[in-house]
């Protein structure tokens, strides 16, 4: 198992229950093929630059362990999600 970290920004226009559902969905994707570690919700933050004409986003960071195929599937699912406006997956074991 390899250690990874995913940081994603959820659309600020979504209601709180939909934001929580998005975080739960990402955790379920990870849990299907790995282990969810620390979930760190940063909350609403101002974006460094406008993304899709939005100036704020809801930031979430999740640390997890999984196989080498898990980030590919997670990336695919986050790209097609309408609620996630940006995401980044980092391999923490790579030097």
Q: What is the pLDDT of residue 24?
A: 95
List, run by run, the mean pLDDT of 10-residue segments along the chain (95 residues). 95 94 95 94 94 94 94 95 95 81
How many structural domains are present in the chain? 1
Instruction: Kindly report the CATH number assigned to the domain that includes residue 24.
Output: 3.30.70.60
CA distance 36 to 62: 7
Q: Which domain holds residue 53?
A: 2-91
Strand ordering across the sheet containing 2-11: 34-51, 54-66, 2-11, 84-91
This model's pTM is above 0.75: yes
Q: What is the pLDDT of residue 95?
A: 63
């Amino acid at each position: 198992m390899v250690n990874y970290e995913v940081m994603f920004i959820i659309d600020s226009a979504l209601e709180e229950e939909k934001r929580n559902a998005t975080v739960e969905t990402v955790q379920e994707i990870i849990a299907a093929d790995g282990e969810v570690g620390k979930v760190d919700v940063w909350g609403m933050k101002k974006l460094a630059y406008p993304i899709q004409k939005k100036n704020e986003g809801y930031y979430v960071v999740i640390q997890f362990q999984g196989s080498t195929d898990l980030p590919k599937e997670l990336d695919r699912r986050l790209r097609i999600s309408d609620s996630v406006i940006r995401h980044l997956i980092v391999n923490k074991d790579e030097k």
